[in-house]
Structure 1
Amino acid sequence: MSHSGAELRIRFIPGKVQLVQEEALVQGPRVLVTGATGLLGRAVYKEFQNNGWVVVGTGYRRARPRLLRCDLTDEDAVRELLHEYKPDVIVHCAAERRPDIVERHTEAAINLNVHATSVLAKEAAACSALFLYISTDYVFDGRNPPYGEDDAPSPLNVYGRSKLEGERETLRHCPGAVVLRVPILFGEVESVSESAVTSLWLKVRDTSESCALDHCQQRFPTHTRDVAVVCRKLCERARQDPSINGIFHFSANEQMTKYEMGIAMAQAFRLSSAHLSPLTEQSALTAALRPMNSRLNCSRLEMLNLNVHSLPFTSVVDCLWPFTDDKRWRQTVFH
């Protein structure tokens, strides 16, 4: 299994978790992926596993076979996990990333986005593991894009503030850590509601009702597969070169409003878009304010030759094909 990745068997003992490494599979660096049941975490887990890393992933409510159930807000559980597993690298994908949910359930979101991050960063430093923290373009207010890594953050909502505080806790407790800011994400989803991008599909396919989609806020939809590749490249380079630390930006380059994403989806699946219309005034229906244009400057990654060239939106939105009525679309439209 030298190139397909190695796995850990997880043995559950009353009051304890034991990670059992098969002797034949002891090879490659060890990576712990938090939030491995989530949209990005699944892609990161798969990317490392497919490139010869020994991988263990954590989940909580959606934990499943081959993943470890761990409440990241439980400090003792986190310490025990890292003591048992002794990872070389931790990729921290777990977060409450839905801005409107964060506004309504702030305490729980802060516990995960800030306090759990702080504990993980401390423990990563204690066990000399490289720590990679996933952050967001929402740390910026969107008034003066594009934003470089050194530009002053000014988040508009609680989600952005919580992720910014997570960045600060990361770099305070683990100075050699890597922070990777990314924009709105989409990819292989378990349900279309899992991503703010793919959730548009329900409105696109229902041609029986007219639907207005936001045409004000500029977004840069980025595929989780590309983010996962960047994570792996950053970790591989940082383990060789300690100067690879601090804040990095990664984003696809295609600028689109939600209305333009909806039109692109309709065109990709050869559906009518006549029922879609552009909403050119800011909606007051959301609980959290969003930046108008938080485009990220990714030059630091590019200078280090760690960037990934993203495919056009219409060529990767085929992640929606399982949610079409006619499953032949994947063969006839995209391949």
Structure 2
Amino acid sequence: MTKILLTGSNGFLGQHIAAQASKIPNMHLTGWSKRGAIHNYCNDFKTINLLENDITPEMVAPFDAVIHTAALSHVDYCEQHREEAFRINVEATRQIAKACRQTGTHLIHLSSDFVFPGKNEPVAENDKTNPVNYYGRTKEMAELYVQSICPQSTIIRPVLIFGPVLSGTRSNLVLWVKSALEADKAIQVTSDHMRTATYVKDLAALCLQAAQKPQRGIYHACGADYLSVHEMALQVANVFELDSQLITPVHSDTFANQAPRPACSNFSAKKTIHDFGFQNRSFQKALRDMV
């Protein structure tokens, strides 16, 4: 029996991890979230607010692995609420890493492509990080704590996660485009931001694989295609048979974001595919799976 603790079990990724785990024999999943459970995929559940609860070794000792997805990920909110972002994204991660080290529990920590500045060139796992916003800075600091405190851990960096929402979580790029076009609403999308977007089902499967067959180090979890956000929106229109004429490409400066975003995230999943058998579907194949 593999016993796993999943933080952020109510979140977008957390729900997909829990849903997949519920179908795996001899796996027992305990979910943590700051609010009551909104699904029944977990075998057990506890309400844990990372802002209010210190994480002790006793809390993680029963588990073989911790999949740490809980985070404050709204980029503009983090920019304006830095203390809260630090406490959740950095300090809570430090406590979890320390507890895992003391108990010998394997830690799978979910980081972000936003640890990089966003140059239009391929990025490898060992390239130098240099975030352009505070959210990225917190994820960078969390990575450094995980590596120094619990060096046997697995750090996973996804890119622009997309896919179906199971229940009660906020939307994502694909669903936003699909919903707008279904309502015959004209939308503007950036043509100068490039991403190797990550399908949530592939990422969830990777997290569970890392819990069952631990590997040390940093891994990039991304899709097979390097596309602009505008190109992604056009593919959404095509696959779901919606009106692409409603989509207008614009420069990212059009949007008044409080925090800067990296322009490009050009990841390769070669290492992750080799070590975990990660399935990094093309953007179109992921969309067709959603259909």
TM-score, length basis structure 2: 0.89
Match of 1:39 among 1, 12, 15: 12
1:183·1:221 contact (CA, 8 Å) conserved in 2? yes
Aligned to 2:287: 317
Q: 1:162 to 1:144 in 2, by over 3 A?
A: same
> Where do 5+ consecutive residues of structure 2 fail to align?
none
Aligned to 2:278: 308
Deviations 1:44-91 (A, max 9, x none): 2223332231111111135346532111233446555325xx111000
Match of 2:104 among 112, 125, 128: 128
Q: Does 1:30 align with 2:7?
A: no
2:57·2:102 contact (CA, 8 Å) conserved in 1? no
Q: 1:74 to 1:192 in 2, by over 3 A?
A: closer
Q: Distance in 2 between matches of 1:56 and 1:48?
A: 10
Q: Does 1:118 align with 2:94?
A: yes
Deviations 1:236-262 (A, max 9, x none): 222xxxxx3121111111222222222
Higher-Rg member (1/2):
1
Percent identity at matched positions? 25
**1:282 counterpart SS class:** helix
Offset of residue 118 of structure 1: 0.4
Offset of residue 285 of structure 1: 0.8
Q: 1:153 to 1:138 in 2, by over 3 A?
A: same
Question: More relative contact order in 1 or in 2 (CA 8 Å, sep 6+)?
Answer: 2
Q: Distance in 2 between matches of 1:293 and 1:187?
A: 20
1:186·1:196 contact (CA, 8 Å) conserved in 2? yes
Q: Does 1:96 align with 2:72?
A: yes
Aligned to 1:325: none
Q: Distance in 2 between matches of 1:218 and 1:294?
A: 6
Q: Distance in 1 between matches of 2:78 and 2:126?
A: 26
Offset of residue 281 of structure 1: 5.2
Q: Which moved more, 1:170-179 or 1:47-56?
A: 47-56
Q: Does 1:211 align with 2:181?
A: no
> Where do 5+ consecutive residues of structure 1 fail to align?
1-27, 239-243, 321-333
Residue identity matched to 2:8: G
Q: Distance in 2 between matches of 1:272 and 1:248?
A: 37
1:181·1:250 contact (CA, 8 Å) conserved in 2? yes
Aligned to 1:265: 236
Q: Distance in 2 between matches of 1:313 and 1:195?
A: 14
| Superposition pairs of residues 43-122 of structure 1, within 5 angstroms | 43-52=16-25, 53-64=27-38, 66-76=44-54, 78-79=56-57, 81-83=59-61, 86-122=62-98
Match of 1:249 among 220, 229, 244: 220
1:137·1:295 contact (CA, 8 Å) conserved in 2? no
